[in-house]
Structure 1
Amino acid sequence: MKLIDLHEDLAYSNQQGIDVINGNIQSSIMMLKEYDSLIFASIFPHVNTWDERSDELTALYGTPTRSTNFSLELFLDQVKFYYYLDRKNLAKIVRNLNDVNANGVKLLLSLEGADVLRDYNDLYILKELHVYNLGLTWNYDNKFASSCMSKRDYGLTGEGEELVKLSNKLGIIIDLAHAGKRTVLDVASISKKPIIASHTNVIKLKNHKRNLDDEEIEAIVKTKGVIGITAIVSTLKEPTINGLIESIKYIGESFGWEYVALGTDFLGIEETPKEFENILKVKELAKAIEGHEDEVLWNNAYRVIKENLLN
């Protein structure tokens, strides 16, 4: 079975002492070898801390959640870990489109939150490091864009517009998971390439700040992008595998099956949906969407990768 997962926190969890190579918690390189898999491997260069923002995040996700500040050192450490996996032939970093179709576990490096970038020209450095997916925000605003937690959803700034335009030019996918509504609509209006929301769900099914409403979904669809349905239990109508299936079917049946994908957020979540405890359960998910499994689990995300990387 071919599988693209639009968001997994391998490097961050490795820093927390979790065995992401041979382990059996949510996901690991060993488990991913069960598939012909490509993982959007998150770089989450944030320092955890407790403060007033932690209270807001805890209320949002329903479990104790620390707020964060970004760190260039953590960015480098996580990139180094992925390159270690590559050197050891445990996984292959995607450097070009040909690598997407290579054998074994593939990693498409993905920066979650643009805070570590000093200005939009730092994208040239990301390009050299083969970081081909860029999340504009995490759960707080930055100088490029407003987040889903924004108290004043200002959308893209002037610097943010330049970031999107240069990302299009360099073949870096723009990821709107965690973005505010105004940011989603602004990016969709100026991007010349398909965009994604790598790990999110649907407001129509569960009213949650991390979820997308129909206007946001439609805006992403108009770019020929994809929405990655996630396993974050607080964002699901039902905290089970059926909740995931319902979200997938909502996008597929309401907006088109070519616009829905999977972005589990495995190794970045404390709790998993019932009967969807780890990446091996994707096989059960595939049975539930039989007839559309190839689109959802590979073809749709592959199209977005191809249209962005071919520049």
Structure 2
Amino acid sequence: MQIIDGHCDVLYKMYEHPEIDFFDPQPAKLDVSYAGMVKAGIKVQCFAIYLPERITQPQFDHYLEYVDIFFRRIVSDPRIRHIKTRTDLEAVMNGKQVGALLTLEGTDALRGNSLYLRIMHDLGVRLIGTTWNHANWAADGVMEPRQGGFTRRGKRFIKECCDLGILLDVSHLTERAFWDLAETADKPFIASHSNVLALCGHPRNLNDAQIRELIRRDGRIGITFVPYFVRAASQGNATIDDVLRHVEYLCAMGAQHQITFGSDFDGIQQWIPGLEKAEQYVNLVHALQRRYPEELVRRFMYGNWYSFLQKRLPVQ
């Protein structure tokens, strides 16, 4: 079974721990590794540029350090292909290489500078989440107390991303910012790693109105493995069956063509038993196969992501 995963924080781990080798057969500090991807059948992994909170004044050079890690220590290996275009995507899905798609989580250091945005695009960034949990120059993140939306510069940024063909990710936005983006963007958008609010009341999850909008816009919803986004701690420990509850809820809303997965591996300190590392994706696949037809499982694991990227990435 092929898999496309919409979010991981491997680059953050490699930034914090320069000794980490992505190609080590058993890297002690990584949830996602090359060996794990191959074992699981992960054909495409999205790698996020996420700056640690200890960097209180993010600079554009910080992003370039992450890009440097991505180029030198991941996609420089011939077994990995940097996915920037539909041609790259097709080559990976039909060949022996695995693919790496570069994303940005939080735009603090872009500071509304269109030149910086174009440089990130030229370096291969194809998906951007405007905020992490807090506010920046463009919008409020979901944990910002004022719960505001996009600024005027932020709305201009949305339009610039759409013009460049950069995909937009709403996973860390406030609800007001979500609707600002929905009103401003003229292209479909995604939630790369968010779950269902009705099943787990964490503010990072999506309410039914947001889910309906993502369905209407033919976006994508990446169910994530963060335990406290899957099941409230007061209700007990999250399990793979709880992940399937989110799948079932979304299916009941008519989101069969929107469901994807965004593990958030390497960005979490708690794990669902049986989903602690990338290679354990097989456990989720088997659980889905016991409940859903094979064609639908293939959609969830890679088909829905593939169809979205095949339409939205640059042709070449």
Q: What is the TM-score normalised by the length of structure 1?
A: 0.89
Q: Distance in 2 between matches of 1:12 and 1:44?
A: 6
Aligned to 2:64: 76
Q: Distance in 2 between matches of 1:75 and 1:187?
A: 24
Q: Distance in 1 between matches of 2:6 and 2:203?
A: 20
Aligned to 2:123: 129
Aligned to 2:101: 108
Q: Deviations over 1:28-48 (max 9, x none)?
A: 111112315111111113352
* Further displaced range: 85-94 or 108-117: 85-94
* Corresponding residue SS for 2:156: helix
Q: Distance in 2 between matches of 1:118 and 1:186?
A: 19
Aligned to 1:64: none
Aligned to 1:304: 308
Aligned to 1:281: 280
Residues 194 and 223 of structure 1 are in contact (CA less than 8 Å); yes or no, is this contact kept in structure 2?
yes
Residues 215 and 258 of structure 2 are in contact (CA less than 8 Å); yes or no, is this contact kept in structure 1?
yes
Structure 1 residues 30, 69: closer, same or farther in 2, change over 3 A?
Answer: farther
Q: Distance in 1 between matches of 2:252 and 2:191?
A: 18
Residues 112 and 154 of structure 2 are in contact (CA less than 8 Å); yes or no, is this contact kept in structure 1?
no
Aligned to 1:63: none
Q: Deviations over 1:71-99 (max 9, x none)?
A: 43331111111111222224211121111
Residues 5 and 46 of structure 2 are in contact (CA less than 8 Å); yes or no, is this contact kept in structure 1?
yes
Q: What is the TM-score normalised by the length of structure 2?
A: 0.87
Aligned to 2:80: 91
Runs of 4+ residues over 4 Å off in structure 1? none
Q: Does 1:227 align with 2:221?
A: yes
**Amino acid of the structure 2 residue aligned with 1:181:** E
**Amino acid of the structure 1 residue aligned with 2:119:** I
Q: State the percentage of identical aligned residues.
A: 28
Q: Distance in 2 between matches of 1:156 and 1:5?
A: 27
* Corresponding residue SS for 1:199: coil
Aligned to 2:36: 31
Q: Deviations over 1:246-303 (max 9, x none)?
A: 1122112223211111000001111110121111222121222232221111111122
* Further displaced range: 205-214 or 17-26: 17-26
Q: Does 1:40 align with 2:46?
A: yes
Q: Distance in 2 between matches of 1:231 and 1:74?
A: 27
Q: Deviations over 1:80-122 (max 9, x none)?
A: 1111122222421112111112232211100000111021513
Q: Distance in 1 between matches of 2:310 and 2:179?
A: 23
Aligned to 2:10: 10
Q: Distance in 1 between matches of 2:21 and 2:269?
A: 15
Q: Distance in 1 between matches of 2:133 and 2:42?
A: 32
Aligned to 1:259: 258
* Corresponding residue SS for 1:255: coil
* Corresponding residue SS for 2:46: strand
